[in-house]
Structure 1
Amino acid sequence: MRIYPTMELQNGRCVTLDKGRLNDAMIWHVDPVETARSWAAAGAEWMHLTDFDAIEGRDTNAALVEEIIRSAEIPVQLAGGMRTREQVTHWIDKGAGRIVIGTLAAWDPNLVKELAKLYPDQIVLAVDVWQGLVMTEGWRTQSAFTPEAFIDAFAGIPFAAILITDIDSDMEDVEAQLGLISGLAQHSRTPIVASGVVRKADDVSRLAYIPNIAGALVGRALFRKTVDLKEALDMAQAAHEPVAQFQ
């Protein structure tokens, strides 16, 4: 299982949000570029970056996002406001390792299928769930799709992964989140990346043993220092190492 240290940007600063409320951000007084480099130095193979300004249609963070992509020393999985073909291709051309798409998949599924085939293993489908239905537009609009139906609509498409967020229990109810995520992991043939589940190191071990969970985003816990990145990386790696059989 892969750990994705996660950074969220708003107005050029690292932030975390409670249930996606953009006007109620907790600001972390760290340098985004140096933080990304520190994650690479700790042994992370990827990082995840969400641009909250892009979700609102602003390019405030564009130069900073480019700098992080250039200097992070690990591939960047980029999310936020990817609502046109041009935005997706722009950021792939700028060097983003993967692009996360949610709202556009609900608006124009055929375009997203086309993009996934054009950029195999570079497109991640975001499935944000609230009260049993998929949310779009930065968790503001409830669609008519159940997460299972949404995933089924893209069966056989070569996504790099499907990113699952349970908004109902975001940062509150780990057991409920694990129930939803493990159910969708069983339902999907595409590997699942879990978001918002890791609060402490033990959560990494619990996730690692759920079939078809390929990764986990870890953001707020890193900034709060309730999770040490090196420890989380070691635990994720150790979870699937072969164990010698007793003779």
Structure 2
Amino acid sequence: MIIYPTLELLDGKCVSLTRGRLDEPVLWHVDPVETARGFADAGAEWMHLTDINGLRGDGDNNALVEQIIRDAHIPVQLGGGFRSYDQVARWIDRGAGRIVIGTMAARDPNLLRRLAKLYPDQIVLALDIHDGAVVTDGWRESSSFTALSFLEAFEADPLAGVIVTDVDGLIDQRDASLSLITGLAAATRHPVIARGTVASVDDVARLKYVPNIAGTLIGHALLAHDVDLAEAIAMATTPNEPVAAFQ
């Protein structure tokens, strides 16, 4: 299982969102570039980066994102309000390892399919769920899609993976989130990347036993020093011990 240490950028600073609220960021007094380099030094294979300004539609952190892509020394999985073919192509040309797409998939699914064919294994679907429905526009708009129908719509496309976020379960309901994500992971052939389920290394230990969970994003817990990245990576990459079958 791959650990994706995660940074979220707002106005050039590292933040975390409280229950997904774009207007209630928690500010971290760390240098984004140095923090990204630290992820590589701790042994991370990938990192995840989100441009919150891009999600909100009130600017961007393009220069900083480019610097992180250049200096992180590991591939960057990038999200943050991608709405067009040109945006996706531009960032892949600039060195982004993968592009994360959510709202575009709900509004223009054929464009997502086209991008997945042009950039196989570089497009990641963001599946964000609130009250049982897929939400878009930075979790501000509810759609008519159920999580399962949205997942099934792109089952045949060559995606790099699917990031599943249970917005209801962020921070204080991780057990419920894990149950939801487990069910969705069993329903798809795509590798599933869990978000919002890790607050301790013990959560990593639980998650790696779930079939078809290929990775997890960890942001707030790393910046708050609740999780040590090197320890989480060691836990995630240690072979699972045999599990006895129920009779």
Map of 1:197 onto structure 2: 197
Map of 2:97 onto structure 1: 97
Code of the aligned partner of 1:102: G
Cα deviation digits, residues 35-92 of structure 1 (max 9, x gap): 0001100000000000000112244311000000010000000001111111111110
Sort the Cα spacing of 1:231 and 1:103 in 2 relative to 1 into closer, same or farther, 3 A.
Answer: same
Task: State the alpha-carbon separation in 2 of the partners of residues 106 and 241 from structure 1.
Answer: 39
Q: Secondary structure at the match of 2:144?
A: coil
Task: State the alpha-carbon separation in 1 of the partners of residues 19 and 114 from structure 2.
Answer: 31
Code of the aligned partner of 1:125: L
Where structure 1 has 5 or more consecutive residues not aligned to the other structure, the ranges are none
Map of 2:10 onto structure 1: 10
- Is 1:49 the counterpart of 2:30? The answer is no
Map of 1:219 onto structure 2: 219
Map of 2:236 onto structure 1: 236
Task: State the alpha-carbon separation in 2 of the partners of residues 20 and 117 from structure 1.
Answer: 31
**% identical aligned pairs:** 58
Matches within 5 A, 1:139-218: 139-218=139-218
Q: Is the 8 A contact 1:208 1:239 kept in 2?
A: no
The TM-score normalised by the length of structure 1 is 0.96
RMSD, aligned α-carbons: 1.3
Count of matched residue positions in the alignment of Structure 1 and Structure 2 = 243
Q: Is the 8 A contact 2:22 2:56 kept in 1?
A: no
The TM-score normalised by the length of structure 2 is 0.96
Q: Which has the higher strand share?
A: 2
Task: State the alpha-carbon separation in 2 of the partners of residues 104 and 19 from structure 1.
Answer: 22
Q: Is the 8 A contact 2:15 2:27 kept in 1?
A: yes
Q: Secondary structure at the match of 2:18?
A: coil
- Is 1:118 the counterpart of 2:118? The answer is yes
Map of 1:70 onto structure 2: 70
Q: Is the 8 A contact 2:22 2:138 kept in 1?
A: no
Sort the Cα spacing of 1:130 and 1:239 in 2 relative to 1 into closer, same or farther, 3 A.
Answer: farther
Task: State the alpha-carbon separation in 1 of the partners of residues 240 and 87 from structure 2.
Answer: 37
